[in-house]
Amino acid sequence: MKNKLTLILLLIFSISLFGCSSQAAPYSPESFYMGTVINQKVYGKNAKKAGDLVIDRMKEIEASMTINTPGGEINPLNDAAGLNPVPVSPSVMFLLNKSKEYGELSQGAFDVTIGPLVKEWGIFTDNPKIPSSDKINELLKLVDYKTLLIDTMNNTAMLPMKGQIVDLGGIAKGYAGNEAIRIYKENEITSGFINLGGNVVVLGTKPDGALWNIGVQNPRDVNGKIIGKLAVKDTAIVSSGDYERFFEKDGVRYHHILDPKTGSPSKSDLIGVTIVVDSTIVTDSSTDGDALSTSVFVLGLDKGRQLVESLKGVNAVFITEDKKVYVTSGLKDKFTFDDESKVYQYVQ
């Protein structure tokens, strides 16, 4: 009898302990890389180790892929434009190949050689400016992802024309998100969340089995004000919009996503797009989502929707200039329209 009671007590104790550990507060470090605040929520016994390893990896990715500070791998590639091939690491090789793939898939809306124009507009500097149309036309001659030479045998890459510049800004944060998930998994994490300035990737569900709720930013409101929510697990959610980085002159908004056809900030009917990629179907969910968010933003609602619907495991929320919100069919039961500003209309 006494033994039985001890056993029951032990059982209750261990159940509550187990319950406690799975519900325990996450490890939630904040860091700043790739020009953005990075928030993580990592659960489980290796949470601290995994979260810290992720921070180390973010630092490495920034150092290797930046074109805003010296060093790394992309600066030497750009410096050697028109001269010679340069060796690149497997990560950079992967991203250059991916970028060319999305150049094709988006019919040139995504162009990793957009660098000379990004630099000329100076949108990431304290002195942005509107270049003359002559200057834009001159620089447009340097923009063509097809010219980027990738030698997979010798692990080198080369830009054939002097002045060409590779800019991984439209894809690197997505890659960083996938790297975080890889590190979580390697450390036996089954529940984790990372947000790289609006580039969100979730692993599994929350520890209690609930879906993660991810807000979709209202493009015309302060950061954190949403137009709706997505309830997801094992998913990458990547947004692009004209609100992320821009300057205004004479009432016109000049933003950071350029149309490689015009060399100017893209003017489609979209002001924001959120790409939702199922990581159980698409291996490089966040990398692909990032390339797609930039692509679709440039392509606009109709072409963008066609592209998204042609891809398995990929869905999207589109927000148009005329304040309408559209979602692809796969999101009907995952997206909840919740516009606090009461300005947008949900088109179902």
Nearest one of 64, 139, 117, 53 to 95, comparing CA atoms: 64
Bridge-based pairing of strands 324-327 and 345-346 is parallel
Shortest Å, Cβ 172 to ligand AMP:
9
Among residues 51, 72, 169, 177, which is the contact residue for ligand AMP, using CB under 6 A? Answer: 169
Residue linked to tokens 């100076």: 122
Q: For ligand AMP, which is the closer residue by CB, 277 or 298?
A: 298
Shortest Å, Cβ 43 to Mg ion:
28
Among residues 55, 74, 92, 118, which is the contact residue for ligand AMP, using CB under 6 A? Answer: 118
DSSP assignment of 153-204:
TTTEEE--STT----GGGTHHHHHHHHHHHHHHHTT--SEEEEETTEEEEES
Among residues 178, 191, 274, 293, which is the contact residue for ligand AMP, using CB under 6 A? Answer: 293
84 by Cβ neighbours in 10 Å (0-12 / 13-18 / 19+) ranks as: exposed
Among residues 75, 195, 239, 294, which is the contact residue for Mg ion, using CB under 5 A? Answer: 294
Q: For ligand AMP, which is the closer residue by CB, 172 or 202?
A: 172
Shortest Å, Cβ 225 to Mg ion:
22
Nearest one of 124, 120, 109, 114 to 167, comparing CA atoms: 114
Alpha-carbon separation of residue 126 from 123, 157, 246, 311 (angstroms): 8, 31, 11, 39
Q: Which two tokens stand for residue 348?
A: 């179902």
36 binds ligand AMP (CB under 6 A): no
Residue 204 phi, psi (nearest 5): 65, -155
- Residues of 215-244 as b/e, b for ≥16 C-beta within 10 angstroms? bbbbbbeeeeebbbbbebbbbbbbbbbbbb
Q: For Mg ion, which is the closer residue by CB, 199 or 218?
A: 199
Among residues 136, 298, 314, 319, which is the contact residue for ligand AMP, using CB under 6 A? Answer: 298
Q: For Mg ion, which is the closer residue by CB, 290 or 339?
A: 290
Residue number, nearest CB to Mg ion: 294
Q: Are 124 and 245 in contact (CB under 8 A)?
A: yes
How many residues of this chain bind ligand AMP (CB under 6 A)?
19
Q: What is the CA radius of gyration of the chain?
A: 22
Part of the chain binding Mg ion (CB under 5 A), chosen from 37-45, 137-145, 224-232, 283-291:
283-291
Q: For Mg ion, which is the closer residue by CB, 42 or 307?
A: 307
Q: Mark 236-275 with x for binding to ligand AMP (rule: CB under 6 A) and - for no binding.
A: ----x---x-----------xxx-x---------------
Residue 302 phi, psi (nearest 5): -65, -55
Q: For Mg ion, which is the closer residue by CB, 164 or 286?
A: 286
Q: For Mg ion, which is the closer residue by CB, 164 or 293?
A: 293
Residue number, nearest CB to ligand AMP: 169
Composition of the chain by helix, strand, coil, percent to 5: 35, 25, 40
Q: Mark 94-113 with x for binding to ligand AMP (rule: CB under 6 A) and - for no binding.
A: ----------------xxx-
Whole-angstrom distance, CA of residue 300 vs CA of residue 306: 10
How many residues of this chain bind Mg ion (CB under 5 A)?
4
Q: Mark 156-195 with x for binding to Mg ion (rule: CB under 5 A) and - for no binding.
A: --------------x-------------------------
- Residues of 245-264 as b/e, b for ≥16 C-beta within 10 angstroms? ebbeeeeeebbbbbbbeebe
Q: Rule CB under 6 A: which residues touch ligand AMP?
A: 110-112, 114, 118, 167, 169-170, 240, 244, 256-258, 260, 290, 293-294, 297-298
